[in-house]
Chain A
Amino acid sequence: MTSVLSIRRAVTLSFLVAWILVGISGYILLSSPLLAKAGLRLPMNIVIDIHVYSGFTALGISALHIALNYDALKSYLGSTFRSSGQIQRAKSRTKH
């Protein structure tokens, strides 16, 4: 159980770090034309590589994250569908 917990912790933290890297590198890439105009030259090749690799790593980790939290996900989806079905039924009852 402890090992599952530590795996869960490692996956969640890796996911967080990967997304932070994606976010930071994405903002740098987004603003790079402005930075270039201002005369600030960043090693864009490195930023692009960080963005691509961390993005795909985050995507890969998301598969692990889903697997680890599958039951919870199923429960969320089930309750969502159930609650939306209840709303539909309530609406139809009001009409009648």
Chain B
Amino acid sequence: MVKYLSKRLLMMIPLLLGITLISFIVIHLAPGEPTDIQTELNPEASTELKERLRAQYNLDKPLMVQYGIWLGRIARLDFGNSFSQDRRPVAAKIAERLPITILINILSIVLILLVAVPIGILSAIRRNSLFDRSTTIFVFLGFATPSFWLALLLMDFLGVRLGIFPVAGLKSLGYDYLGWGGKFLDIAHHLVLPVFVSAFGGLAGFSRYMRSNMLEVIRQDYVLTARAKGLPERLVIYKHALRNALLPVITILGLSVPGLIGGSVIFETIFAIPGMGKLFYDGVMMRDYPLIMGVLVIGAILTLVGNLIADLSYALTDPRIRKA
């Protein structure tokens, strides 16, 4: 096990190098540079200024040299300073946006699991029933509804007309004057709509996945055996079938680890939530190379680690794999 683990971890190093190199080249292929925002179509910017700004960012050096400089810094765990006009450390910019993004993503995954797993199980057991069909329509409706449209409708109806929920943002204006409990409630109040909207679209995938797993397991011989020996249906389903049907869900959860830090631009823009999606999108638009690379590196590491965790937990939960 230790040998397997260290081998997997060592393998990650060349993989990461390859990922960063390709990302670095690709983002520099896109036309435009970080200095453009200050100088392009600006009547006051002279050609000399443009060159001077480029030199300050090392943009006048060959691409591989720039990559070397970047790699040298990242090896010391320094993500460098943003090329945008605030010139703040990339690590600080990411750190201030991560908590809210992770919070919303975890809440919405939990919500998805809470709703989608029961729906999947029930619609597998009562296959082709009214419940199965209506939930199928419901979850696909969620899948097909554009999130920005749903968000705006909910904001208009619940936020403006009924005034039940705040329209956008994360905190009320008086947040700083609230007590501990008040702060918690205030944020929870603001999160209801965003979490609902982001979970709604994800229901379809999980519930359909759960349903098909369940259907497959129910057809297995050991379920037949369990029924044959006279076990009550409850026990057959929840003890023998469900446990096995849940196994693949672990893989999916592992694969969704990198998704935890990724936000959606549209969603964050609509709800005015300062999350990772908007940060990354703005970074790309401004050609803020250190920031883009920083987010990509973290995403790459999480993807690799997520895969590893999925494989490991699979081995832990499934004796067949552990022995193999």
Do A and B make up one complex? no
